[in-house]
Structure 1
Amino acid sequence: MSRHAFSSVLLIAVVAMLLSACAPRNAPSGPGDAEPEIMIETEATRGAFITQDGLELPLRAWLPADGKRPSAIILAVHGFNDYSHAFEEAGQSFAEQGIAVYAYDQRGFGDAPHRGLWPGKEVLAEDLRTAANLLRKRNPGVPLHVLGESMGGAVAVVAATTEAGLPVDSLVLSAPAVWARSTQPWYQRVALWAAVRTVPWFKPSGAGLQRQASDNIEMLRELGRDPLVLKRSRVDAIYGLVNLMDAALAAGSNLETPTLVLYGKKDEIVPRKPVDRFWEALPNREGHRYALYEDGWHLLLRDLQADVVISDIAAWVEEEDRGRLPSSAEVLTKQAPAS
């Protein structure tokens, strides 16, 4: 072997070794020695969700007063780097209207184990399915709906379109994270591909992006002060999120569960183009609705006009006239196939 050939082989070997040493790191599984369970007292607001593999995730609940039987139940799933506290104001409002809300910190986020590590899209979807099944058993006969915000919306779509499905009456997707690779600029895809193979542990700052998530500035400041809200993400966690968004966008054409998509026209986090593409891919059936809010931002449930969005969701889960939501939001409707 010539010196040049030997040097080339050596270089390839060194690069391969470096890449293998910098493989993405996923959160480890739970101990697997416990039955899934939701632990919370009737009047309590805090509890725990024991997952299918025995991991204990923090749980919050907002329940109708005096132990009253709820008219509907919402299982709320938070977004990337956020946690169950995201639904505090909305949960209180829903509870006052007789609707129970449950939300847990997804593994890797908030106060859940393995903070900052990506769990994997299949695991997140299975957690949601397990929680939904537990709530079904806990509240027989009460309509159950999943409300997914941003990343939580993507998790809900993936869970609902797998073979096992999701045992719910409907989905509400608030600014769903469906910004898949196919809708991203090439340089963004290339940069992530390279980074996850070389520096998966690196936590880039998003300070220079100049993106605003809401018009509720005081709420944004509180998020900045909240120690349980992740301020920076590992590259491999971002890579995992993009994989999830790929799967969610691709799954749209298989989504049969009645779905309400919510999107703010001022959203600077998830572009409208992929959300429109997701909507267009949904099967043509009367159970799907797409509400567009002129003054809405990404965090619709915490914007200054959050009450408008919350009223629309309440009307949806209470199964009022779903063709016309209480707000003045522009509502698009899928056309049912001709008989």
Structure 2
Amino acid sequence: MADISTVETTLTVPDGVELYTKRWKPTGTASSLLVFVHGFSDHCNAYGDLFPTFARKGIEVVSFDQRGWGRTSPSRPDHGQTGPTSLVISDIASVIESVLPSPVPVFLMGHSMGGGEVLTFVDRGPPAILSQIRGFLVEAPFIAFHPSTQPTWIKVAVGRLAGKLLPRFQLTNTIEPTLLSRDPQVQKDYVEDALCHDTGSLEGLAALIERAEDLASGKVSVHEGRGEGGKTRLWVSHGTADGVCDFDGTKKFVERTKLEDLTFKIYEGWYHKLHAEPGKDRETFAEDVTNWILERRDPETTAKPML
């Protein structure tokens, strides 16, 4: 098994905020580069062996703690202060821009909240940056709440109003650990991780819900011609037993997305953190992602749709 190296640093974005970033680098020359966007109440060091596994396969990973989360915002007053969607998009663009130009193909991937952000980025991101991304991947993207966690429309409406009046007001939105993975150790690790603080600002939570609604309604969508070479290559994955982000919401999104290179990978009976499911499952997930990326090192590669 090849050794890897890691590099931690910060990236100063246009408004002066310093984003904590980390790289997982192969020992030899990387064949591809993956920029990864984490989810709600999450941070880039909470993905277990996923990124080291990619690096051992020759895929360099660059990830960061979004503003409001992890080591970017360790102080309680800054927890969940993600800002509006325009700022989220700008931060993702800054991280991608920091690795450009790249001698190897660049891919963009997001999990949960980060998956919804990646899909939104495909629609609203800067064309000059999108045109340098070989492919996009999302894991259990937040397009719709699972029915068991769906807030009432009254709560959403009140939250939006409050978000405009008190944007920085913080609210705890606890994710039930048993819904994240079938692995009890993963559940325990989540509870004990102080950087997974379950705290969002009203402005950030309102933007999160609005992004999901826009994706679910088709107001925001993924079109052909957004990626490198005028092709949008998209890999979507979701577990059917996800109790956090609704599988059916993702399925409906995929069904109305028309791309030449579109893969929808369904994991029967899996929970929310596909990368942290028990036993061999997490290895299967990492292998599926790796294969999809490596198969697209050649810009002319276009796989048949898998729906």
Deviations 1:11-31 (Å, cap 9, x if unpaired)?
A: xxxxxxxxxxxxxxxxxxxxx
Of 145, 166, 171, the residue aligned with 1:203 is 171
What one-letter code is carried by the residue in structure 1 that aligns with 2:306?
L
Using the alignment, how far apart are the partners of 1:44 and 1:237 within structure 2?
30
Give the equivalent residue in structure 2 for 1:73: 33
**One-letter code of the match for 1:252?**
S
State the Cα distance separating 1:162 from its structure 2 match: 1.8
Partner of 1:306: 282
1:89, CA displacement in angstroms? 1.2
What residue in structure 1 maps to residue 197 of structure 2?
Answer: 230
TM-score (norm 1): 0.74
Distance 2:90 2:136 in 1: 16
Deviations along 1:119-153, one digit per CA (max 9) or x if unpaired, are 1111111211222122122x32x011111001111
Query: Match for residue 316 of structure 1?
Result: 292
2:109 — aligned with what? 147
Answer 1 or 2: higher relative contact order, Cα 8 Å, separation at least 6: 2
Quick one: distance in 2 between partners of 1:248 and 1:196?
18
CA 1:295 to 1:130, structure 2 compared with 1: closer, same or farther past 3 Å? Answer: same
Give the corresponding residue for 1:280: 255
1:267 and 2:231 are equivalent in the alignment: no
Q: Is the 8 A contact 2:122 2:222 kept in 1?
A: no
Evaluate the alpha carbon distance shift between residue 288 and residue 44 of structure 1 in structure 2; reply closer, same or farther with a 3 A threshold: same
**Cα separation, partners in 2 of 1:64 and 1:280, compared to 1, 3 Å:** same
Q: Which consecutive aligned stretches of 4+ in structure 1 deviate over 6 angstroms post-superposition?
A: 183-187
Query: Which aligned pairs between 1:102-141 and structure 2 lie closer than 5 A?
Result: 102-113=62-73, 114-137=78-101, 139-140=102-103
Q: Counterpart amino acid of 1:248?
A: L
Q: Alpha carbons of 1:206 and 1:158: their partners in 2 closer, same or farther (altered >3 Å)?
A: same
Q: 1:43, 1:187 → 2: CA distance? A: 43
Contact 1:149/1:173, CA 8 A, preserved across alignment:
yes
Q: For structure 1, which segment, 79-88 or 305-314, has the greater mean C-alpha deviation from structure 2 after superposition?
A: 79-88
The structure-2 alpha-carbon separation of the partners of 1:122 and 1:202, relative to structure 1 and needing over 3 Å to count, comes to closer
C-alpha distance in 2 between matches for 1:243 and 1:286: 28
In structure 2, give the amino acid aligned to 1:296: W
For residues 238 and 202 of structure 1, the distance between their equivalents in structure 2, rounded to whole angstroms, comes to 9
One-letter amino acid of the structure 2 residue matched with residue 314 of structure 1: T
Secondary structure of 1:63's aligned partner: strand
Q: 1:58 aligns with which of 9, 14, 20?
A: 20
Q: Give the number of aligned pairs.
A: 279
Distance 2:173 2:92 in 1: 29
The AA in structure 1 aligned to 2:243 is: E
Normalising by structure 2, report the TM-score.
Answer: 0.81
Report which of the two has the higher share of strand. Answer: 2
* 1:231-277 superposed Cα distances (whole Å, 9 cap, x missing partner): 34344432221012123343225364210000111111111221112
CA 1:97/1:161 → structure 2, altered by over 3 Å: closer, same or farther? same
AA aligned opposite 2:161: R
Q: CA deviation at 1:185?
A: 10
Deviations for 1:71-115, whole angstroms, at most 9, x for unmatched residues? 111101000111111334101101111110111001111121432
C-alpha separation between the residues in 2 aligned to 1:184 and 1:281? Answer: 25
Is 2:140 aligned against 1:175?
A: yes
Counterparts in 2 of 1:164 and 1:195: CA distance versus 1, 3 Å: closer
2:269 corresponds to which residue? 295
Letter in 2 for 1:64: P
Once residues 222 and 269 of structure 2 are traced to their aligned partners in structure 1, the CA distance between those partners, rounded to angstroms, is 29
CA separation of 1:196/1:252 partners in 2, compared to 1, >3 Å: closer, same or farther?
closer
- Of all paired residues, the percent bearing the same amino acid is 19
Change (3 A) 1:119 1:190: same
Say whether the 8 Å CA contact 2:34–2:108 is kept in structure 1.
yes
Report SS of the residue matched to 2:152: helix
For the pair shown, the structure with the greater C-alpha radius of gyration is: 1
SS of the aligned residue for 1:145 comes to strand
Q: Is 1:254 aligned to residue 254 of structure 2?
A: no
Name 2:228's counterpart in structure 1: none
| Unaligned 5+ runs, structure 1 | 1-41, 325-330, 334-339
In structure 1, C-alpha distance between the alignment counterparts of 2:31 and 2:125, rounded to whole Å = 29
Which residue among 57, 64, 73 is the counterpart of 1:97?
A: 57
2:229 is matched with which residue? Answer: none
